[in-house]
Amino acid sequence: MATAPDPTESPASPGKTPRTARGRATLRRLLDAAAAEFGERGFHEASVSGITRRAGTALGSFYTYFDSKDAIFSALVRDMSQGVAKAAAASLTPGSSGVRREREALTGFLAFARQHKELYRIIDEAEFADPVAYRGHYEGTAARIRARFDDSVAAGTMTPGDNEVRAWAVMGMNVFLGLRFGVWAHDRDIEDIAAAAEALLRDGLQGGD
Amino acid sequence: MATAPDPTESPASPGKTPRTARGRATLRRLLDAAAAEFGERGFHEASVSGITRRAGTALGSFYTYFDSKDAIFSALVRDMSQGVAKAAAASLTPGSSGVRREREALTGFLAFARQHKELYRIIDEAEFADPVAYRGHYEGTAARIRARFDDSVAAGTMTPGDNEVRAWAVMGMNVFLGLRFGVWAHDRDIEDIAAAAEALLRDGLQGGD
Amino acid sequence: MATAPDPTESPASPGKTPRTARGRATLRRLLDAAAAEFGERGFHEASVSGITRRAGTALGSFYTYFDSKDAIFSALVRDMSQGVAKAAAASLTPGSSGVRREREALTGFLAFARQHKELYRIIDEAEFADPVAYRGHYEGTAARIRARFDDSVAAGTMTPGDNEVRAWAVMGMNVFLGLRFGVWAHDRDIEDIAAAAEALLRDGLQGGD
Amino acid sequence: MATAPDPTESPASPGKTPRTARGRATLRRLLDAAAAEFGERGFHEASVSGITRRAGTALGSFYTYFDSKDAIFSALVRDMSQGVAKAAAASLTPGSSGVRREREALTGFLAFARQHKELYRIIDEAEFADPVAYRGHYEGTAARIRARFDDSVAAGTMTPGDNEVRAWAVMGMNVFLGLRFGVWAHDRDIEDIAAAAEALLRDGLQGGD
DNA sequence: CATGAATGAGAGTTCATTCAT
DNA sequence: TATGAATGAACTCTCATTCAT
């Protein structure tokens, strides 16, 4: 499977840091296996033994690296959340602003969603399994979008307006475009989607002459 | 709790229809209890015994009316889905069109979300507990939005464009505005939110001046 | 289904005798339904609600006629047991004796088994559900066979021998021929089976020159 | 209780093979406990918790070794079935044939039945709990008897005849003699029973002078 | 560090029986 | 006498977690 952006080095990761190279390898196998297991079956249907079976380790070894099923799930949620943020950030052209920049962020996000199909199932189930992380993920994302908007308004590339509402609206737009066109089906080209979204954000639904 | 739009009469309801008035009362109590239980605890944490405890019936009575925990959850998801659709439809002014109509739909939805805090937890967990209903809910909602857009374009109240993408984008916008301003906090007035969203849809982010 | 030899009149039947014609009809429907249900599903898999569903009565009505699931099963076992005895007795030619008479009894039994496929499943499960009736059935059957043997020896149509052992041996023979050729498959004609059994009883396995 | 012929090594045994000596010991305790529990209470009255209580393990440990209550029951039925076949085979004198050989087989079977009182309750309830194994048991046994008969006829120690019917008849004889004189009561000596049965098979009921 | 057996609380579900109407 | 809703004990099975080796 596609490996999520390196969780073994992230500060959000497990409390039990392995000391040997062998240990680090096992940890990585467990994390990859967990992403697959949680992505396929959801948090509650997923089982620790399913994770260790995929990872090829003994059941007991799991607890050498994680305190609980919740702990590895949390680690994964936070990594996914970071992964999304990084993917969006990485796709921005230095110096871009306004609607153009939003398009770039969306493009990066769509590409990330296509690579990480388990993204939605992991984030979404966090609503139940790790509500704090769930809320943190969306509030953090909205805050970053909002910061871009504030910046764009200051730069004159965006009309002043209710940036808080705008940020949540645009985040919702991105999330659902990612679900429909990134995860559920690939019947449309990413650039098409991004172009349509950009047009919507630029001109609204009845502008654009 | 606020009672969901009458599930006892809906065709999507259980296969075991009560024949007496007493039976109908028990069924209703179970459905209300289930909405509360699932809303508070989520599908997996919810228990049948929790539902019957809230409903004040014996555990076994649950199975007089539903085949399984899954069955009552499905019934609830479908009712919620219908409830959302009805609330949005009911809030439309006859003859309204274009961006104005979308604002009305959003207003209706936000009001519904504020009344039915369990809405998100039930629909969202359907992703795992009843994927068919989950997908059906969003595809159905998107289709209704898209139909409004097609109509508006025909009526000249909306610029032609990629209505499929637009519909998913607007649905996502609505969903996240509902989550943030309908469920998580009431720090903003519904009409404020609706006005900001309407402005976004009317003029985009850099138009309007 | 083929109705077992009239249980509504037997002294072995239920403790709650109906007083009206309507009641007697309901009782009969319940008994027929029970024979079918127990025969198809076995005692433990059978359910009272399955019986009343087949009988077309309300669940509660069952307890108007029988004290318990065990009670109706016992009634059925005793009836079946009587039915077998009667069928064997009825097939005897007056005045017949010795091996010839055993053949007649077997023929009657095989015919009965073919008509009452539920026979084995009901008697056999009595081993667990009503051990007293089970043991009574086989001890009674063996006693009747043994009485015939004693009579035949006295009449000079059978060599003296260990009639107790002989009776159990011949009963076992009959039971398994009934299972194999009466219930499991009809690939052989009843008279063929009876002739082969008679030959075995007459000459043994190495006599007969 | 008497331990059944080693099921831990049989190929018919569970899918979850223990890897450690401790595991093998637990598996054996569970199998012995299951034979006792099923023998005393029958399949349906038996409970998994009853088995683990007898075995002195935790309830959950049962599922380390067997997938279900059905699975351990099937394993037991198949072992019992093998045990019977082996006991009969082991009691044969090399080179014996005809009626004499049948006597030896019966003797072995009676001894086995006396040692394994649970035999009948386990095989018999298989009619309901594992019909395939039940039918397989009797068809297999009949086939072995029939093969002996065919061989004896070829060897000239048995008169030609309907060996299929004969085999089922003799099996039934053995089964019921085992029930009456092996399990229900020990009021008669095994050799007495065997002698009477041999006489029956040798001379029939009216021959022999 | 790795292993895999052991644990037991807890869940969903069934169904014989009772009871109010 | 008939009805069908109500009851709750009992059961099978799951699985996160612990622990001895």
pLDDT in tens, A74-124: 999 998 999 999 999 999 999 999 999 999 999 999 999 999 988 999 999
pTM for this entry:
0.83
For C91, phi then psi, to 5°, come to -85, -5
What pLDDT score was predicted for residue C19?
75
**Which H or E run contains C9?**
none
Q: Which two tokens stand for residue B4?
A: 């969901």
Q: Measured between alpha carbons, how far is residue A77 from residues A6, A82, B44 in Å?
A: 13, 9, 19
- The mean pLDDT of A146-167, rounded to a whole number, is 97
> Residue D58: its pLDDT value, please?
94
* pLDDT for position A6: 43
What was the pLDDT predicted at D108?
96
Per-residue pLDDT for C11 more than 50? no
Q: What pLDDT band is residue C154 in, cutting at 50, 70 and 90?
A: very high
| pLDDT tens sequence across C95-112 | 999 999 999 999 999 999
Which pLDDT belongs to residue C190? 97
Kindly report, residue by residue over C20-63, the tens digit of the pLDDT. Answer: 888 888 999 999 999 999 999 999 999 999 999 999 999 999 99
Reference A72, options A99, A48, A39; nearest CA is A48
Residue C43 to residues A113, C71, C115, D31: CA-CA distances in angstroms?
Answer: 56, 12, 20, 26
**pLDDT surpassing 80 at residue A5:** no
- So what's the pLDDT on residue C17? 75
Q: Flag residues of chain D having pLDDT under 50.
A: 1-13
Non-local CB neighbours of A63 within 8 Å, separated by 6+ positions: none
Backbone φ and ψ for B13, nearest 5 degrees, come out as -80, -175
CA to C1' distance (Å), from A184 to E13 = 35
- CB of D58 nearer than 7 A to strand F: no
Q: pLDDT tens-digit profile of C124-133?
A: 999 989 999 9
pLDDT at position D116 = 93
What 3-state class would DSSP assign to A195?
A: helix
Q: What is the least distance, in Å, from the CA of B203 to any CA of chain A?
A: 5
The answer to whether residues C44 and D128 touch, using CB atoms and an 8 Å cutoff, is yes
Q: Given this model, what pLDDT does residue A79 score?
A: 87
pLDDT digits (tens, 9 = 90+) for B20-63: 888 999 999 999 999 999 999 999 999 999 999 999 999 999 99
Cα–Cα distance, B106 to B89 (Å, whole number): 10
D42 touches strand E (CB under 7 A): no
- Which of D110, D165, D192 is the mutation pick for testing C, counting most C CBs within 10 A? D165
CA-nearest of A71, A25, A35, A69 to A49 is A69
Subunits with at least 3 CB pairs below 8 A relative to chain D?
C
Q: Which residues have a Cβ under 8 Å from the Cβ of B123 and sit 6 or more positions away?
A: B77, B80, B81, B134, B137
Strand E close residues, chain D 44-83, CB < 7 angstroms: 57-61, 63-64
Residues of chain B below pLDDT 50 = 1-13
**A11 pLDDT tier (thresholds 50, 70, 90):** very low
Alpha-carbon C50 to chain mean position: 23
Closest by CA position to B136, among listed B82, B190, B179: B82
Residue lying closest to nucleotide E6, CA to C1': D61
Q: Which chains touch B (3 or more CB pairs under 8 A)?
A: A
- pLDDT of residue A164 exceeding 90, the answer is yes
**Residue A208 confidence class, pLDDT cut points 50, 70, 90:** low
What positions of strand E are covered by protein, i.e. any atom < 7 Å from a CB?
Answer: 1-20
pLDDT at D5: 43
Task: Give me the helices (H) in A116-161, please.
Answer: 118-129, 131-155
Question: What is the nearest nucleotide to A66, using C1' and CA?
Answer: F17
Q: Which of residues 171-190 of C touch strand E (CB under 7 A)?
A: none
Please give the Cα distance from B104 to C94 (Å, whole number).
96
**What is the residue-averaged pLDDT of chain A?**
90
Contact state of C206 with D179 under an 8 Å Cβ cutoff:
no
What letter represents residue C91's amino acid? S
CB-based contact C204 D202, cutoff 8 Å? yes
- The sign of the torsion formed by the CA atoms of C53, C58, C60, C65 equals negative
Cβ-defined contact of C120 to D127 (cutoff 8 Å): yes
